[in-house]
Amino acid sequence: MACRYRSAVAVLRLFAAAREAAGTGRAEVDGATVGEVLEVARATFGPELAAVMQRCRVWLNGEPATDDAPVTAADEVAILPPVSGG
């Protein structure tokens, strides 16, 4: 499948359990879409992060994102695990 967007290096921000699984809270990740950024993150940080990401929300520049949303070098993709309270 050909990508219709030019690839960019976006900032990936990881919070809570996602940060623990990846071993970092921030990384620069190459991808033309949110989905590509997430795919690279899974490949880079491994199965523990991939498992956590199954229950996370993904935001692009502070707004809920879909996998097909285009990403530029000025963008920030955030992985936010669910919050529990008590």
- The predicted model scores a pTM of 0.87
Q: Are 65 and 78 in contact (CB under 8 A)?
A: no
pLDDT at 6: 61
pLDDT at 2: 47
pLDDT (tens digit per residue) in 19-65: 999 999 999 999 999 999 999 999 999 999 999 999 999 999 999 99
> Is 8-80 a CATH 3.40.1370.10 domain?
no
3 state DSSP class of 28: strand
All structural domains of the chain with their residue ranges: 8-80
Flag the least confident range among 13-17, 67-71, 82-86: 82-86
Flag the least confident range among 3-7, 29-33, 63-67, 76-80: 3-7
Angstrom distance (rounded) from CA 7 to CA 28: 12
